[in-house]
């Protein structure tokens, strides 16, 4: 089958635009691409590590070339079945709470809600998103059935280190449970919601993340209430008339299991200081996913057993049930997403070869922010390059279109340009940047006045548009001369 497609996408799709010199935009309709009967695409990863194909002709069962042709590039695509699998991986926990800052598209939020997953919000905008996706603002306050029943779960929890005025208004009016990361939040909440139950986010004095910029514990982090200040904070909460019913610790994003395991002991010590008012403890997030072939998935069962033992210790001490939560973000969506981008130029700079694509750090910021590694696969544009068994690879650097030297997808932490071994590419081929479903679109920007990309969700072999691509008119909407 010939996968050739027009370099600037289909001419017949050209819509009238105030910028006719720009490539045409795809139609702004929720077109569905059906699955074809050909073989399904390989999984984005397997349990042993980040294994991706050198050639990626299909994503979640749908032709990559068809996706690019229909919706344009750059494009985010999400695999609904993978999201469901990752939600169900954590079924042992009493509550799985999605850190939506990882991927806050309404269709994704609705999908995880249907899986019984609760949600965390860190802003008024995120509260608005989850309400639009069908979440209820607060728990049913009905009676708990018997001493062995778990306490009610909060559908939405607002987690932050401050209240801006809008967020304080929102949680007070809607009755949303608050996870307080600073003592000043207690008095501010008490003025608006007297007698509320709260959770304390505690900084245990140590942290770890895949980058120093994602470390959320220790003296170098602004997050959470310092663990040595808990007695004073408890006095302030009592004075304000608030009841501390929950305890939360989160040491960093994309950390490793050894560091995460340390949190259980630290949380137990703080929980014993708080006492029997506690009805919920949260292990926080940070569950890693493998981006590189040598990385592996975490031992989820072992991690749960560690936390379950902590929970049982607290239940024995306090004489009542404790709800055990986990708060994944990356784990639920990272492997379920990719960026599809078109190779627009190939050139040499001295001894280094560059592939330049139409996605930049305005599309996917993790490489420039953290030096993050994302696997990449090639989707050749024509049948003449269709030998997917080819073993020839070449070292290339992959960069974007931005007028910015840091616009390189193959860079290390510190901004040093690196190379990636990829099959030989031609202008017009598609490059698939894998494992991009977390901290991808949510961190995209309009830098260089680039429109935000479209997003599609693939479910059961059907692709549907879940976010329209921005237009040039969108870029200046709301501005005044």
Asked if residue 2 belongs to a domain, the reply is no
Across the range 299-308, mean pLDDT stands at 92
Q: Are residues 408 and 290 in the same domain?
A: no
> What pLDDT was estimated at residue 205?
72
Same domain flag for 50 and 148 = no
pLDDT of residue 66: 98
Dihedral of the CA atoms 206, 292, 443, 431 (nearest 10)?
170
Could you report how far apart the first and last alpha carbons of the chain are, in Å? 51
For the chain, what is the mean pLDDT?
86
Q: Work out the pLDDT band at 265, boundaries 50, 70, 90.
A: confident
CATH number assigned to the domain comprising residue 189: 3.20.20.10
Beta strand residue intervals within 183-300, DSSP E: 197-203, 225-226, 243-248, 280-282
Say if residue 215 is in the same domain as residue 126: yes
Token reading at 477: 């909407």
* Pairing of the two strands 197-203 and 225-226: parallel
Pair (245, 262) in one structural domain: yes
Q: In terms of pLDDT, which residue wins out, 287 or 388?
A: 287
What is the share, in percent, of the chain residues with pLDDT greater than 70? 81
pLDDT at residue 7, rounded to an integer = 38
Out of 327, 362, 392, pick the residue that ends a domain.
327
Beta strands in 334-453 (DSSP E): 337-349, 352-357, 376-379, 394-399, 420-422, 430-433
pLDDT average, residue stretch 430-451: 98
Do 398 and 355 form a contact (C-beta atoms < 8 A)?
A: yes
- 157 and 286 inside one domain: yes
**pLDDT of residue 383 exceeding 60:** no
Q: What is the structure's pLDDT at 388?
A: 64
Q: Are 243 and 275 in contact (CB under 8 A)?
A: no
Split at pLDDT 50, 70, 90, the class of 106 is: very high
* Whole-number Cα distances in Å, 26 to 16, 38, 355, 380: 12, 25, 24, 21
Task: Let me know whether 135 and 173 are in one domain.
Answer: yes
pLDDT digits 0-9 by tens, 17-52: 333 333 343 333 344 444 433 333 333 334 446 678
Q: Domain range holding 472?
A: 11-79+335-476
The string of pLDDT tens digits covering residues 144-158 is 566 678 999 999 999
At 69, the pLDDT band (50, 70, 90 cuts) reads very high
Whether 47 is in a domain gets the answer yes
pLDDT digits (tens, 9 = 90+) for 155-204: 999 999 999 999 999 999 999 999 999 999 999 999 999 999 999 999 88
Quote the pLDDT of residue 36: 37
- Is 435 within the bounds of a domain? yes
Same domain, residue pair 267 and 318 = yes
Residue 150 sits in the same domain as residue 23: no
203 in the same domain as 151: yes
431 and 451 part of one domain: yes
* 481 in any annotated domain: no
Residue 159 placed within a domain? yes
Is 379 tagged catalytic? no
Query: In this predicted structure, which of 186-190, 254-258, 358-362, 407-411 has the lowest mean pLDDT?
Result: 254-258
pLDDT of 218: 59
Report yes or no on 46 lying in a domain: yes
**CATH number of the domain where residue 37 is located:** 2.40.37.10
Domain assignment present for residue 129? The answer is yes
Last-in-domain residue among 310, 327, 344 = 327
pLDDT, tens digit (0-9, with 9 covering 90-100), for 412-429: 988 899 999 999 999 999
Examine the domain organization and report whether 134 and 166 are in the same domain.
yes
Q: What is the pLDDT of residues 203-225, one digit of tens each?
A: 887 654 443 444 445 566 777 89
Judge whether residue 390 has pLDDT over 60.
yes
Structural domain count of the chain: 2
Per the residue annotation, which of 87, 180, 338, 403 is the catalytic one?
403
Question: Taking a C-beta distance cutoff of 8 angstroms, is the pair 217, 259 a contact?
Answer: no
Model confidence at 80, pLDDT cuts 50, 70, 90, reads very high
pTM confidence score: 0.86
pLDDT for 68 beyond 60: yes
Q: Is residue 1 part of a domain?
A: no
State the DSSP code for 28: S
d(CA 332, CA 108): 10
Judge whether residue 385 has pLDDT over 90.
no
Q: What is the pLDDT of residue 162?
A: 95
Q: Is the domain of 302 the same as that of 363?
A: no
- Single residue among 327, 357, 375 that ends a domain in this structure: 327
């Amino acid at each position: 089958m010939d996968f050739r497609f027009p370099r600037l996408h289909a001419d017949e799709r050209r819509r009238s635009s105030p910028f006719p010199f720009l490539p045409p935009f795809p139609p702004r309709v929720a077109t569905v691409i059906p699955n074809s009967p050909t073989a399904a695409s390989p999984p984005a990863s397997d349990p042993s590590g980040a294994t991706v194909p050198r050639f990626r002709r299909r994503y979640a069962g749908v032709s990559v070339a068809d996706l690019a042709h229909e919706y344009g590039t750059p494009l985010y695509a999400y695999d609904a079945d993978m999201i469901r699998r990752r939600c169900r991986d954590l079924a042992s926990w009493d509550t799985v709470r999605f850190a939506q800052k990882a991927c806050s598209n309404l269709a994704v939020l609705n999908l995880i809600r249907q899986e019984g997953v609760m949600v965390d919000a860190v802003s008024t905008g995120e509260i608005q998103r989850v309400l639009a996706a069908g979440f209820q603002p607060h728990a049913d306050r009905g009676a708990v059935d018997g001493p062995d029943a778990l306490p009610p779960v909060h559908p939405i929890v607002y987690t932050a280190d401050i209240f801006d005025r809008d967020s304080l208004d929102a949680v007070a009016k809607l009755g949303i449970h608050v996870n307080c990361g600073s003592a000043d939040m207690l008095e501010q909440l008490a003025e608006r919601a007297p007698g509320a139950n709260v959770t304390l986010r505690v900084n245990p004095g140590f942290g770890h993340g895949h980058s120093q910029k994602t470390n959320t514990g220790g003296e170098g982090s602004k997050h959470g209430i310092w663990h040595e200040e808990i007695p004073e904070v408890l006095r302030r909460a009592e004075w304000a008339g608030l009841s501390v019913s929950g305890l939360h610790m989160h040491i960093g994003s994309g950390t490793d299991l050894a560091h995460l395991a340390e949190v259980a002991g630290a949380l137990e010590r703080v929980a014993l200081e708080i006492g029997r008012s506690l009805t919920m403890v949260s292990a926080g997030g940070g569950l890693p996913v493998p981006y590189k072939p040598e990385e592996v998935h975490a031992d989820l069962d072992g991690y749960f057993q560690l936390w379950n033992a902590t929970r049982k210790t607290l239940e024995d001490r306090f004489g009542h049930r404790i709800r055990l939560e986990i708060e994944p973000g990356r784990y639920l969506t990272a492997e379920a997403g990719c960026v599809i981008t078109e190779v627009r130029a190939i050139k040499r700079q001295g001894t280094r070869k560059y592939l330049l694509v139409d996605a930049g750090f305005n599309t996917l910021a993790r490489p420039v922010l953290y030096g993050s590694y994302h696997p990449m696969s090639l989707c050749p544009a024509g049948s003449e390059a269709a030998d997917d068994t080819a073993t020839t690879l070449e070292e290339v650097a992959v960069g974007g279109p931005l007028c910015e030297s840091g616009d390189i997808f193959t860079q290390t932490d510190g901004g040093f340009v690196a190379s990636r071994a990829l099959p030989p590419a031609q202008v017009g081929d598609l490059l698939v940047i894998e494992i991009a479903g977390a901290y991808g679109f949510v961190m995209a920007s309009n830098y260089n006045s680039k429109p935000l990309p479209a997003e599609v969700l693939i479910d059961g072999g059907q692709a549907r548009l879940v976010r329209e691509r921005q237009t040039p008119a969108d870029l200046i909407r709301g501005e005044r001369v």
